[in-house]
Amino acid sequence: MARGIRDKVAIIGMGCSKFGERWDKEADDLMVEAFEEALNDAGIEKNQIDAAWLATAIEEQHVGKSGTPLAVALRLPQIAVTRVENFCASGTDAFRGAVYAVASGAADIALALGVEKLKDTGYGGLPQRSRGALNSMWWANASAPGNFAQLAAAYRAKHNVAKGDFKRAIAHVSVKSHDNGSRNPKAHLQNKVSMDQVLGAPIVAEPLGLFDCCGVSDGSACAIVTTPDIARGLGKTDIISVKALQLSVSNGVEAQHNSWDGSYFATTRVASKKAYQEAGVTNPREEIDLIEVHDCFSVTELVTMEDLHISPEGGAIRDVMDGFYDADGRIPCQIDGGLKCFGHPIGASGLRMIYEMYLQLQGKAGARQRSEPPRLGLTHNLGGFPHQNVCSISIVGRYGA
C-alpha cells in the first residue's frame, strides 16, 4: 500500500463563518468572513499562498462555475485555483487537493475553502436541479430525505427492529445534536429540542420527521495547510497534522447489483478502513476520541456509526441509546451540533467539521470543549444517495501522536 499522508501536512490556520440564513450576505462575503479568521490564525500574508481549492456543489445557485469566484473574492495573486464538486464530500475533497499539493512539494502553502449560498431559492430544503438528460428520464422522483429515509426500511428489515424503536433511536441522535448545537455560537440552530418534539414533528419522508433532517443554510469554512517544517518555521508549536484522507466513490454496485442490502454505506466501510490503516489506527472504538459525521439525516448518522467500524453491525441503536456518542460519552459525535444544527452549505460542511476538530485538538472549543483535549478526531462526509454516493474521511490529530 501507498505510504499515505500521515503527518506530512500541518494545518496552520482555519476559519468558519457563522452558518445560517444569511439573508444579508453574498457568497463572497461568507468566503471573506471565513478566510480572514484563517489568515489571522495562520499568521501569514495572503500572497504566501501558492495554490487554492474551492469547493461548491450547487454553484448555479450562487457563484457559478470555475475557480474564479474564490480568486476574485480574496483577490488572490493569479495563483492556481481549482474548483471541486464531489457532492457533499466537496469540502473535504478540496482539502485533500490542498493537502496533496503540499505533500508533493508542489506548493509550500495551500488553501482549501468551501462555500455555499443556498437560501436564495424561495423554498425550504435543498434546491431542485436537473440530473442530466438521460437520468431525468428514468431516475425516481426522489428528494434527499426520501433517498436517505430508505436506509430505515432496509435496516429495520435486516436487524428486525420495530418501527417505534428505530424512530426513538434516530430521535435521540437529533436531541443530542441540538443539545450540542445550543453551545455553539456559529451554529444555525442553537435551540435544544425534546424527544416528544422530535417524535411528534411532521413527516418529511417516511419515517423521517422535520427534526430528523438537517437544516439548509449559508456558510463558508476554510483551511490553510503547509508542511510541519514550514509550520515550525512560522513559530507554530502545538502542531495539528493530517493523519489520513480517504475518498471512496460508488461504482454502481449498490444501485445495480443485488449484493448490497440497502442498510449501510458500502463506501463508508471502505474509506474508513483505509483511513484507519493510513493513520495507524487498529481499534477505532478505542483510539478515535471525537467524530464529526455527515448527519444530513439522523438515520445517516445512526448507520454510519457501524460503517465507521465503531459500533458493531446491528449495535448502533444500543450505543446511541446508551449515550456512547453524547457530548459526555466515550466518543462524542457532532460535539459542535453537526449538520443538524449548522445546516448544510454543501461545499463548506467538510471543512466546518475539520474546523471543529482543529479547535478541539487545541483545546480552543470554548463552552463545548472536551475536558481532556482529544488526540485523534475523525470527520466523515457522505454525498449523493445511499445507493450511489461519495464518501470522504479525514483523520486529524496532534503532530506525532
Partner 1 sequence: MSKGILRHGAYVPMRRLQRKAIVAANGWFNSALRTQGKGERAMANWDEDSVTMAVAAARDCLGDFARDTIAALHMASTTLPFADRLNAGIVAGALNLAESVAGHDHSATQRAGLSALADALGGSGAAPVLVIAADKRRVKAASPLELSSGDGAAAFLVGEGDIIAELVARANRTVDFVDHYRGDGVAFDYTWEERWIRDEGYSKIVPATVKDLFAKAGVTGADIAHFCMPCTLAKVAGSVAKKTGISETSVRDNLADVCGDTGAAHALAMLAHALEDAKPGEMILVAGFGQGCDTLLFRATDRIGSTKPTRGVSGWLARRREETNYQKFLSFNDNVEIERGMRSELDKATALSSLYRNRNTVTGFVGGKCKVCGTLQFPKTNVCVNPNCNAFHSQEPHPFADMEGRIMSYTADNLTYSADPPACYGMVQFDAGGRIMIDFTDVTPDEIEVGTAMDMVFRIKDYDSQRGFTRYFWKATPASSAAAKGA
Query: What would the grid cell of residue 84 be?
Result: 471541486
Around 380, how many Cα atoms within 13 Å sit in the side-chain half-sphere?
34
Q: Tell whether residue 205 is a contact of partner 1 (CB under 8 A).
A: yes
Measured from the CB atom, the residue of 106 and 157 that comes closer to partner 1 is: 157
Give least dist CB 214 to partner 1, A: 13
Q: Quick one: cell of 291? A: 467524530
If binding is defined by CB under 8 A, does position 201 make contact with partner 1?
no
Q: Is 345 exposed, middle or buried (0-12, 13-18, 19+ CB in 10 A)?
A: buried
Q: Which CB sits closer to partner 1, 151 or 353?
A: 151
Active-site residue among 16, 62, 88, 341? Answer: 88
Binding flag, residue 273, partner 1 (CB under 8 A): no
Segment contacting partner 1 by CB under 8 A, of 5-13, 111-119, 237-245, 379-387:
379-387
With respect to partner 1, which residue has the nearer C-beta, 23 or 138?
138
Assign 380 to helix, strand or coil: strand
Task: Please spell the DSSP secondary structure of 86-129, one letter per residue.
Answer: BTBTHHHHHHHHHHHHHHHTS-SEEEEEEEE----SSSSSSPP-
Mask for 230-269, x = binds partner 1 (CB under 8 A): ----------------------xx-xxxxx-xx-------
List C-alpha distances in Å: 374 to 328, 379, 400.
Answer: 13, 13, 14
* Beta-sheet pairing, 10-16 with 219-226: antiparallel
Give the C-alpha separation, 51 to 337, whole Å: 31
Residue 160 in contact with partner 1, rule: CB under 8 A: no
Nearer to partner 1, 185 or 252 (CB): 252
Q: Kindly state the cell numbers that stand for 276.
A: 484507519
Q: Do residues 171 and 211 lie in contact, with contact meaning Cβ atoms separated by under 8 Å?
A: yes
Site for partner 1 in 67-126 (CB under 8 A): 121-123, 125
Q: Which three cell numbers stand for residue 93?
A: 475533497
Which of these ranges, 105-113, 152-160, 235-243, 323-331, lies near partner 1 under the rule CB under 8 A?
152-160
Does residue 137 touch partner 1 according to CB under 8 A?
yes
Residue 153 or 230: the one with the smaller Cβ distance to partner 1 is 153
Selected from 145, 343, 345, 374, the binder of partner 1 by CB under 8 A is: 145
CB-based contacts of 310, cutoff 8 Å, min separation 6: 284, 285, 288, 291, 319, 331
Q: Which residue has the cell 503540499?
A: 102
Q: Which three cell numbers stand for residue 318?
A: 444500543
> Minimal distance in Å, beta carbon 385 to partner 1?
8
Report residue 113 as a C-alpha cell. 475553502
Exactly one of 344, 387, 390, 397 binds partner 1 (CB under 8 A); which one? 387
The residue within the footprint of partner 1, chosen from 106, 157, 195, 321 (CB under 8 A), is 157
Answer yes or no whether residue 327 interacts with partner 1 by CB under 8 A.
no
Q: Is 344 a catalytic residue?
A: yes
φ/ψ region of 328 (left if φ > 0, alpha if ψ in -120 to 50, else beta) reads alpha
CB count in 10 Å sphere of residue 72: 13
- Scanning 19-27, 99-107, 129-137, 311-319 for contacts with partner 1 by CB under 8 A, the matching segment is 129-137
The CB-of-255 to partner 1 minimum distance in angstroms stands at 7
Residues 6+ apart with CB under 8 A from 191: 178, 181, 182
| Nearest distance, CB of residue 266 and partner 1, angstroms | 10
User: Smallest gap, in angstroms, from Cβ of residue 122 to partner 1?
Assistant: 5
How many residues of this chain interact with partner 1, rule: CB under 8 A? 44
Q: Is 341 a catalytic residue?
A: no
Closest approach of partner 1 to the CB of residue 339, in Å: 17
Report how many helices (DSSP H) and strands (DSSP E) the chain contains, helices first.
Answer: 15, 11
Q: Which of 47, 136, 194, 283 binds partner 1 (CB under 8 A)?
A: 136
Q: Which residue has the cell 443538524?
A: 340
Which residue, 224 or 270, is less far from partner 1 as judged by CB? Answer: 270
Count other C-beta atoms under 10 Å from residue 168's C-beta: 16
Is 162 a residue that touches partner 1 (CB under 8 A)?
Answer: no
Contacting positions for partner 1 (CB under 8 A): 121-123, 125, 128-130, 133-134, 136-143, 145-147, 149-151, 153-154, 156-157, 202-206, 252-253, 255-259, 261-262, 385-387
Which residues are part of the catalytic machinery? 88, 344
